[in-house]
Amino acid sequence: MAGRHSRLQRQILQLYKQFLRLAEQKPGLDAHVRQEFRRWAALERTDVQRIEYLLRRGQRQLGMLQTGGVDRAGSFVKEKDGQPASTTSTEKS
C-alpha cells in the first residue's frame, strides 16, 4: 500500500506500537507480541469482522497488561517428545 492506511490499519499499527513499548518493561513479552501479530498478518483484508474482533481482543489484553498485575510473560517450551518442558509465571507472586 502506497502511503495511506485505512482507519482499521492505523488502529492495528497503533496497538502494535503500544504493545512493543510495553514489552520494553516486561521480560518475554516482545517475542510473544511479534509472534501473535505475525500469526494474524496473513488474515484476508476483507475479513473485517474477524479483524475488528482481534483488535478489540488485543486492546483488552493490552489494558490487562498495563494494570500492573503482570510483570513478565512466559511460554511453554516443547521438548522433542511434544511435552511441555518448562513454564514461566506471567503474574506477580
Q: State percent of the chain over pLDDT 70.
A: 70
62 neighbors 12 (Cβ within 8 angstroms): no
Q: Taking residues 59-78, report their average pLDDT.
A: 75
d(Cα 76, Cα 87) in Å, to the nearest integer? 5
Q: What is the pLDDT of residue 85?
A: 55
Q: Taking residues 59-63, report their average pLDDT.
A: 93
